[in-house]
Structure 1
Amino acid sequence: MPDSDFFAALHALHLGRVEFVVVGGLAAVLNGAPVNTFDLDIVPARNEDNVSKLLLVLEGLDAVYRIQPERRLKPTASHLRSTGHHNLLTNCGPLDVLGMIGHGLGYEALAPHTIEMEIGDGVRVRVLNLETIVALKEELAGEKDRAVLPVLRRTLQEKQRGR
């Protein structure tokens, strides 16, 4: 497995003019939460133009499905337009392209709950805000979600006190 370079992947998505929201562990980290993450999770807009741009970026990142990387199965436009999850391995590390998260929340539903962040070199990305991350984790309440919730809540409280 290649070393993870999430910022290189985000830079490629930015340069490719892909519309997406960073969600998951990296979104929590970018919001200041002291948690670990091992992949980059994004929810892209699933319109035809954006999916075409996303496919070009994924080709440049040599993206293949993680389930059997030796088979070199590559995502297609029809795959990426779906609401499903696409767990990919790229030359920048693991990248999960998620059609929807939570209870059917796609790009359009998530976009109003984002903050735009500069991550370096003039690269600006939309990141799910911490309030929404906490709300989604509370909703889902899986084992991993329950484990990280106290840290996310504490980080959110600290951010709110700092305002």
Structure 2
Amino acid sequence: MSGSPDRALDLRELFRLLAAGRVDYVVIGGVAAQVHGRRRTTKDLDIMPAPDDANLDRLARALAELEARPAGLAGASAPTPTPEQLRHAAIVPPLATHHGELHICNSVPGAAPYQELRARALVTDLDGIPVAIVSVDDLIAMKHALGRPGDIEDIAALTALAREGTAAGA
């Protein structure tokens, strides 16, 4: 497999393959912060998938097509997550793909239930592919609950952007 944790992130291709697989998800984390106007770098794509069995089956098929493997365990012997593993893991270990690192988060501190996140998400178009981005308020709530140093910096920037009305969807 040619994917690795340091492989350049190709969001367009990741979004294209997830859309082709009809995977229902919301983008969270650094990419979502960027969409909302936060100037920061990120080397991975964080998503929260819809938790229903059919969607997790579709996600597992998309991961197989991406040849997703646990980051740091490159090689044919490293397994792609199965639908069963996706159903029972709160956070799937980071996955290396041909198009960059992918983080699948089934449960995130501070996050509302998936259907609520999805209903409030900003849906943006990337070359004809609809991509659901977590709302700025939901993103701030998640980052507040996590409380890591980078999250605290993101909260301050996202709050200022929301107050100024310049955050996406604000």
TM-score relative to the length of structure 2 = 0.85
* 1:82 Cα offset (Å): 1.9
Match of 1:130 in 2: 136
Inter-partner Cα distance in structure 1 for 2:122 and 2:25: 12
Match of 2:79 in 1: 73
* 1:103 Cα offset (Å): 4.0
Task: Please list, as runs of the form range in 1=range in 2, the aligned pairs for 1:29-40 lying within 5 A after superposition.
Answer: 29-40=34-45
What amino acid does structure 2 have at the position aligned with 1:107? Y
Q: How many residues align?
A: 162
TM-score relative to the length of structure 1 = 0.89
Structure-2 change in CA distance of 1:156 and 1:104 (3 Å): closer
The answer (yes or no) to whether the contact 2:25–2:132 under 8 Å persists in 1 is yes
Match of 1:4 in 2: 9
Does residue 97 in structure 1 map to residue 95 in structure 2?
Answer: no
Give the 3-state SS of the residue equivalent to 1:148 in structure 2. Answer: helix
The answer (yes or no) to whether the contact 1:41–1:95 under 8 Å persists in 2 is yes
Give the 3-state SS of the residue equivalent to 1:3 in structure 2. Answer: coil
Question: Which consecutive unaligned segments of at least 5 residues does structure 1 have?
Answer: none
* 1:55 Cα offset (Å): 1.2
**Residue deviations 1:11-70 (CA, integer Å, cap 9, x gap):** 111111111000011011112221211110000012121111111111111100114234
Structure-2 change in CA distance of 1:45 and 1:4 (3 Å): same
Inter-partner Cα distance in structure 2 for 1:143 and 1:69: 30
Question: Which consecutive unaligned segments of at least 5 residues does structure 2 have?
Answer: none
Task: Please list, as runs of the form range in 1=range in 2, the aligned pairs for 1:1-163 lying within 5 A after superposition.
Answer: 1=4, 2-70=7-75, 71-86=77-92, 87-103=94-110, 105-120=112-127, 122-159=128-165
User: Quick check: which one's strand share is greater?
Assistant: 1
Deviation >6 Å, runs of 4+: none
User: Quick check: which one's helix share is greater?
Assistant: 1
Aligned Cα root-mean-square deviation (Å) = 2.1
